[in-house]
A = this chain, B = another copy of it.
Amino acid sequence: VGVIEHMENWPQQLPWAFHMNLPAVLLPPLPTNSAEELAEYAQQLQLLSQEAVKEAGYSFQLWVPLSMTAAAMEAWQFVASMANANNVGLLLQFETSPTTLDPLLYVSQQLHTLHNAIGCGPVMAVSIATNQFLTNKRGYPTLSKAQQWIAEYIMQRVGRTVRWLLQGTAAPTTTVAVLPHLQYLQHIRQRPSVTSLLDTRAGQDEADYLDALQKPLQPLGDHLGYATYEVFEKDPVKYQQYQAASRLALADLKDLASCKVLVVGAGRGPLVTGVLLAYQSLPVNERPDALQVVAVEKNPTAVLYLQSKLQQDPLWQGSSVVTIVQADLRSLAQEHTESADLVVSELLGSFGCNELSPECLDALLERCKPETISIPSNYTSHIAPVSSRHIHGKIVDQQAFYPDQGRAVGRQMAVETPYVVRTHAASQLYAEQECWSFAHPSPHNPTRFVSLEFGSDAGGGLASGAGYGAVDDKCASLPTAPDQPVVLTGLLGTFTTVLYKTVFLSTAPKHFSSGMYSWFPLYFPLNEPVHVPAGARVRTHVWRKTDQRRVWYEWSVAVRKGTDLLSTTAIHNSGGRSYHVALS
């Protein structure tokens, strides 16, 4: 890492960093005297950033050093929005614990600031001075309890992507002198609270997906590939819950002697297997050998797989009768629909209703008996404002991509498309709220509109972390810290679903189904980052709209404080101009 000591020297020093093939340069600290100086810093940073992208692309990084204080974060929010640069990250500098503040309150403040910084970052590195270490009884360096908590939190949140820098001042500056300090940090890294998040199989598998943008599925247009099915079938939670729900539903059927189950969108058959296992697990006297399972699938290659499965899998060849039908579930033959007692489907997307589950199941279930049970029974979309300058930058960069039509995406389309993303360098700003629900069987008006207000929520945002994974109870239990100004870059969509009665799945942090990895959140971008001062309230407007051919979302955000309207975005994706899900 190179160092530029004075901002105005970058035109001389940056070429040297390129020449030396350095991966990053550390910039001087933000000025503290006046808004004018911050503006001048931002002006130089913007030029520097443009030059760096031109000469070295996005892999080269500019690091702005920032102390972990609310005031520093506020100054950075101003500079970052003025400079509007994608290749700038933060080097956070560990603060010395104050002796005058209640340690828990101090931890709460620092964690809020960190949460804020992760959104306004990305945080590329953390530096800690050797003289911030204490010495334990055996003479080894150690951190105070509060500092330990903070270091552990950083590792949990961004440990996979952050570098640690030890800055020695008192001790001799050889590597050996800081070795005990490094070992101590390594010791924190090995705590179960950290390894259980980062070093599990799931944690390792998702490493490639962190902050990666994925276009959401076109469920009726795309045919899934074999490998995709395989990955999702390994989810340790999802199919187990489907099986549990199926068991409850089967047990509730009046006449199991002649019952028929439709598995719609059967894919490679995991839900067929689940239904069969559920049936087998019922007490013997409750299962006359007469279960009919119809596996409905439109993807012809998946149908081939289902047919071979039927020939080879002993479970499928048991006493029940499995039938395979290649069809769009909306036009399934009357013979199957009119006699169905239970319909099992997995048409849910990252935002619940975004892969057309409502439309498809309504079309099917209105042709079934009124008492036909649907698994899932209902699902609810959730939304939360989220801060991620990192993801925002990636989305803005999408504008220059050329998809198959041969012309650039353009900014409007780039920022009006929701992306499936495993949020990482991101901070959910408030506890998520419910948007709307769909329940089956009962036909719907498929359009929805919701206006939700998010205000200071006493740590609900902090405890939600990056917006993917379960709420962090340790964070939730911290004392309330003063509200900080934040920068909003998008809305994060998740969902909860009741598969049947008490069997539940959730990607929303509040009730996250731990271990499940089948769905990442859906990120709705905002065209520009939106500033939210302390004490202000965010109002989101989200629409689910349809016409005869399409389903799409529109969204907008307004910020108010007291009666003042501070800002409002335009409505994104008006009329589905940039993104929709096709109904055919």
Contact = CB atoms under 8 A, between A and B. Distances in A.
Interface stretch (A40-48, A174-182, A287-295, A500-508): A40-48
A322 interface: no
A253 interface: no
Given A50-B577, A451-B39, A528-B528, A78 B565 contact: yes
Interface in A552-584: 554, 556, 558-559, 561, 564-571, 574-575, 577
B46 A571 contact: yes
- A-B pairs with the 4 shortest C-beta distances? A533-B564, A84-B570, A36-B451, A39-B541
Contacts of A449: 36, 40
Contacts of A282: none
Contacts of A559: 566
A120 to B, nearest CB: 13
B570 A567 contact: no
Given A43-B541, A43-B554, A82-B541, 8 more contacts: A36-B451, A36-B541, A50-B575, A81-B570, A82-B556, A528-B528, A531-B566, A531-B568
A485 interface: yes
Copies of this protein in the assembly total 2
B568 A566 contact: no
A74 interface: yes
Given A35-B451, A43-B554, A50-B577, A531 B561 contact: no
Contacts of A539: 35
A204 to B, nearest CB: 38
Contacts of A541: 36, 39, 43, 82
Contacts of A82: 541, 556, 558, 568-571
Nearest to A534: B564
Interface in A348-363: none
A77 interface: yes
Contacts of A534: 564
A544 to B, nearest CB: 12
A451 B561 CA distance: 26
Interface string A386-422: 0000000000000000000000000100000000000
Nearest to A535: B564
A117 interface: no
15 contacts: A35-B451, A39-B556, A43-B543, A43-B571, A43-B574, A46-B570, A50-B574, A81-B568, A82-B556, A82-B568, A83-B571, A84-B571, A531-B565, A535-B564, A536-B564
Contact of A485 (B50, B83, B565): B565
Nearest to A42: B571
A519 B528 CA distance: 35
Contacts of A566: 531, 533, 559, 566-567
Contacts of A536: 564
A46 B541 CA distance: 14
Nearest to A81: B568
Given A47-B574, A571-B42, A561 B564 contact: yes
A405 to B, nearest CB: 16
- Of A539, A565, A575, the most chain B CB neighbours within 10 A belong to A565
A77 B39 CA distance: 28
A64 B123 CA distance: 47
